[in-house]
Amino acid sequence: MRLTRFTDYGLRTLIFLAVRPEQLASIAEIAAAYRISESHMTKVIHALGKAGLIETLRGRHGGLRLARPAAKIGLGDVVRATEPEIALVECQTGADCAIGDVCRLRAIMDEAAGALFGVLDRYTVADVAGPHSRVLLQRFGLAADAPAPGGPV
């Protein structure tokens, strides 16, 4: 199983915003940090905003920020909001199957998806961004005083 790039970019966007919660960011800034097209990033930002994960402030001094603290944004919630469908096999979508009434595959795959979300639901954006926020800022080109990669955080 592999999550879509859209979800990956959504998670990355939230990490970017989490390492500098007191500042607003622009789509261009986030796109440049990850070397992603601004057009694609705009779609990701729109979805994150619709899901209530980020706030967009318009105007001259506008920008993007997390809608709530990073510690209150669960990774499972992000994946649920950005993945169009989490079905591991087609029968999980309710598609007709010649052996569906006697096959246990759907139940097993439902259990596997539940286990995935069981893990994701234990972690937040803060768990991903927090431990290395200074190094992340440096990697984003936002903090010249951050230690070099591999150094103390």
- Tens-place pLDDT, residues 63-106: 999 999 999 999 999 999 998 888 777 777 777 778 777 888 88
Two tokens at 19?
Answer: 């390492």
Whole-number pLDDT of residue 61: 82
Cα 51 from Cα 147, distance rounded (Å)? 35
Cα 9 from Cα 129, distance rounded (Å)? 14
H helical segments located in 24-151: 27-34, 38-50, 75-82, 105-120, 125-129, 133-139
pLDDT-based confidence at residue 138 (cuts at 50, 70, 90): confident
* Residue that has been written with the tokens 């990355």 in this structure: 12
Whole-number pLDDT of residue 12: 94
pLDDT-based confidence at residue 143 (cuts at 50, 70, 90): low
Name the amino acid, one letter, at 21: P
This prediction has a pTM of 0.83
| Domains along the sequence of the chain with CATH | 5-139 (1.10.10.10)
